Structure 1
Amino acid sequence: MKRLLAALLLLAAPIIQLAVAQPALAAGTSRAALQIRGADVSSLAKSEALGGVYRDARGRKGDALRILSRAGLNYVRLKVWVDPADGYNTTTQVLDLARRVKAQGMKLLVDFHYSDTWADPGKQFKPAAWESLPFDRLRQAVYDHTYDVLDALRRQGTTADMVQVGNEINGGLLWPDGSTSTWPNTAALLNAGYDAVKRVSGSTKVVLHLADGGDNGLYRWWFDNANANGVRYDVIGMSYYAYWHGTLETFRANINDVAGRYGKPVVVVETAYPFTTADDDGWANIITSGEPYPGYRATPEGQAAMLAGVADIVRQVPGGLGLGLFTWEATWTGVPGNGWDPADPSSGNAWENQALFGYDDRALPAMEVLGHL
């Protein structure tokens, strides 16, 4: 009898762990599956080229996209740079990865940075090839680049399902021309991207993406101005990292307010949480605290619980307007050479402790939790 009981407990362990990572539900309630259970895997092509290995939870080596799909994820996010120094995150890799994404039955979000490197609230650098363009030609370059990438995807049978026109564009894009200090210019560039998306595929949804998901003042200011200047879009995208962007409650208040105020679906296109404080590549991690957010340790269980908590907030957005979430750079493990700076092969990865694969290359519990949200 003791042996039988031990065997039953061993079989039930994964279910018990999953239940622990999920917030409790009120009696008599059911949890609808999120439309989007996604991961950004923009670093994957370079990781694989440099020898990166991915394993499922049982240790079996395999295709990272297949492992994600079999865990229940249904959406992949890929960024696009214009002419990066290392030649990655270009149209070539997006086309190749898109074929693999669609072969797994997953959907695709394409994230245009309109830069040769990272674009975020602190920097929106023009691509070198666009530096000297007058504004009308800059607007045309946005249209042409957006159209060319998306049309190539369509022609190979992997049409993008969603598209971000810009990445974390709190202060606009393509500075200084597209800065929000001159909203008519910001609007013209964003609408050029929107028009290109819709010309390729009228059913593809256009996302406008800001960081600081707990900052309601920012979101009201930004989208009030966007609407006043005729910016066209379908979905509001947010970054929300609990250790940077305010409490879970301020995030809840903002996402609920934004959805109701603008009547648009909302999606968290970036979130993440560490599963350890340890380093794997000799490059200091960005998040090193043992408890980056109160009550959520930097452990595999803490990572899973945080993703589940963010997901439940998105699920509870009134009117069913919460679409889901993407965990950011789920496959960016500590592979030598696959660092943060495309111009510096010696740079390391400060994010590997927030991936969905552990330092033994195995899928972490958070992956299974995310796949069943």
Structure 2
Amino acid sequence: MPSPSTPANSRESGLSRRAALAAVGGIALTGFAASPAQAAKRADTALSIRGADLSFLPQLEEAGVHYRDLAGRVRPAERIIAAAGANHQRIRVWVDPPAGYTDRKRALALARRAHRAGLKIVLDPHYCDFWADPSKQPIPAGWPTDLAGLTEKVRIYTRDLVRDFAAQGTPVDIFQMGNEITAGILWPVGQLYPADGSQHWDEFATLLKAGITGALQGAGRRPPKVMLHIDRGGKLADTRWFFDNITTLQVPFDIIGQSYYPMWHGSLADLRANLEDSVARYGKPVLLAEVSYPWTFEDGDGRGNIVTPDAVLPDLDRFPATPAGQAGFYQALREVLVGVPGGNGLGFLVWEPEWIPGVGWEPGAEASNDNLTQFDFTGRALPSIRAYRKP
């Protein structure tokens, strides 16, 4: 998800522009499309991945926030979602963020907590010192700025990061190569749509392959599945444009990751059409790496929210911004994913469902997501928490 400073029009990042495609060598990864036997097995469990990104959780706890389950019992947020049926936790990690935000040390501590709760790890390195999304992907301060130096730095950084997770007994199950990389990574070297009209697809692919290589080297004998994550949940043409280029450039990956926020990415019908097209076109399963939906239009900290009553929510008539409406949305989302042919709708990761008032998106800022959570403003779980159930 973009930080609140992201201009709204930055989400339309020029994916309709034409580009010259160049085929280059890549790393061979085992395909992850479901065989009939795998599809039948997945049908028994409905969705194989059900989880959330809880990267703000330590900061919220440090601010004095407590969470309660549906019965009113105080428990850690990761334990609440695990008890509801979640099996994965996504962890964001920045290179050198402001004090208190999720750096490597904090990410590793989060992984230990997730592991104790029975949750597998989805690792989301941003390759930035702070927020990375389609409007901004700056190179971390102190990193090289030439392609050769940056490529090696990405490989080594990723190798060491994934190795650290494995070494403490919390191996990465899914490795996400960058965050919402629709417009590239590590700008300007790997930027796809700079203002001058040039497109750096070859450089972008080189950097992606370096990170993927590093992840596999760091994991050792337990390689993670590799996900490429863009922000085009219901936008079929843009998704095709990105992954047509990626496959032509032979970037190896296992999972197509999408952000799906209805106010930016269309209706559930749009989402269904895009996911089904991606599975048929690329032979890869799909995962909603980020998703959220409002349970209210009220503002928990009185300092502004991203999603207001003026937001365009295509299915608002079916799923109003109420606790029950939010729960209905997640049920419909599950049905969309279960309906993806061949068992290739892997599941979903809710984005920061615990981010209630108490911590800002940057030091001193507001909690701009507090009406998109799965806990109310007091920290009590909302009915949508049941979306994590297995069957």
Structures share a fold, TM > 0.5? yes
Alpha-carbon distance between aligned partners in 2 of 1:319 and 1:122, rounded to the nearest angstrom: 34
Per the alignment, residue 211 of structure 1 pairs with: 231
Alpha-carbon offset, residue 262 of structure 1? 0.5
Instruction: For 1:128 and 1:53, locate their aligned partners in 2 and report how far apart those are by CA, in whole Å.
Output: 35
**Which of the residues 330, 336, 342 maps onto 1:307?**
330
May I ask how many residue pairs the two structures share in their alignment? 338
Pairwise CA RMSD: 1.5
Shift in Å, 1:249: 1.0
CA distance in 2, matches of 1:299, 1:330: 15
Structure 1 counterpart of 2:249, from 225, 229, 241: 229
Cross-structure match for 2:38: none
- State yes or no: 1:295 paired with 2:307: no
Structure 1: distance between partners of 2:390 and 2:212:
32
1:164 to 176, 188, 192: 176
Q: Does 1:259 align with 2:279?
A: yes
CA distance in 2 between counterparts of 1:87 and 1:153 reads 20
**Amino acid in structure 1 at the alignment position of 2:361:** W
Map Cα deviations across residues 194-233 of structure 1 (whole Å, 9 max, x no partner).
Answer: 1111112253011000002111111111111111112111
Within the candidate set 65, 69, 92, 2:78 is matched to: 65
For 2:211 and 2:89, the matched residues in 1 are separated by 20
Q: Which runs of 4+ in 1 moved over 6 A?
A: none
Q: Is the 8 A contact 1:330 1:354 kept in 2?
A: yes
Aligned pair partner of 2:151 in 127, 130, 139: 139
State the alpha-carbon separation in 2 of the partners of residues 89 and 145 from structure 1: 16
Equivalence for 2:97: 84
Alignment of 1:267-278 (within 5 A): 267-278=287-298
2:377 maps to which of 335, 359, 364? 359
The answer on 1:50 being equivalent to 2:30 is: no
Q: Distance in 2 between matches of 1:251 and 1:296?
A: 16
Tell me which protein shows more helix as a share of its residues.
1
Offset of 1:172 from its aligned partner? 0.7
1:204 and 1:188 mapped to 2: Cα distance? 20
Uncovered stretches (5+) of structure 2, i.e. residues with no partner:
1-42, 193-198
Q: Deviations over 1:28-56 (max 9, x none)?
A: xx874210111110111111122121111
- The 1-side partners of 2:161 and 2:218 are apart by 10
Work out whether 1:150 is the aligned partner of 2:162: yes
User: In structure 1, what residue type is equivalent to 2:182?
Assistant: N
Q: What is the CA distance between 1:372 and its match in structure 2?
A: 4.2
CA contact (8 A) 2:260 2:290 kept: yes
Give the match for residue 360 of structure 2: 339
| Deviation of 1:135 (Å) | 1.3
**Contact kept in structure 2, 1:308 and 1:370, CA below 8 Å:** no
CA distance in 2, matches of 1:109, 1:246: 25
Per-residue CA shift, 1:250-278, capped at 9, x if unaligned? Answer: 11111000011110111001110011111
| Letter aligned with residue 322 of structure 1 | G
Which residue type is aligned with residue 163 of structure 2? D
Q: Does 1:120 align with 2:140?
A: no
The alignment partner of 2:67 has SS state of coil
Determine whether 1:247 maps to 2:260: no
What secondary structure is seen at the aligned counterpart in 1 of 2:346? strand
Question: Please, what TM-score do these two structures have when normalized by structure 1?
Answer: 0.87
- Partner SS, residue 188 of structure 1: helix
AA in 2 matched with 1:357: F
Distance 1:299 1:129 in 2: 46
Deviation at 1:86, TM superposition (A): 2.4
Residues 114 and 120 of structure 2 are in contact (CA less than 8 Å); yes or no, is this contact kept in structure 1?
Answer: yes
Compute the displacement of 1:107 (Å): 0.8
State the SS of the aligned residue for 2:264.
coil
Residue in structure 1 matching 2:189, options 177, 198, 205: 177
Deviation at 1:144, TM superposition (A): 1.5
> 1:10 — aligned with what?
none
Q: Distance in 2 between matches of 1:193 and 1:98?
A: 20
Which residue of the partner structure matches residue 348 of structure 1? 366
Contact preservation (8 Å) 2:158, 2:218: no
> Residues 297 and 321 of structure 2 are in contact (CA less than 8 Å); yes or no, is this contact kept in structure 1?
yes
- Check the 8 A contact 1:307/1:370 in 2, yes or no: no
Matched, 1:35 2:35: no
> Could you tell me how far apart the structure 1 residues matched to 2:225 and 2:303 are?
37
Q: Give distance in 2, aligned partners of 1:47 and 1:86.
A: 14
Q: CA deviation at 1:369?
A: 2.7
Structure 1 residue 64, shift from structure 2 partner:
1.2
Long gaps (5+) in structure 1: 1-29
Looking at structure 2, the residues matched to 135 and 371 of structure 1 have their Cα atoms a distance apart, in angstroms, of 45
Q: Which amino acid aligns with 1:310?
A: L
Looking at structure 2, the residues matched to 240 and 266 of structure 1 have their Cα atoms a distance apart, in angstroms, of 12
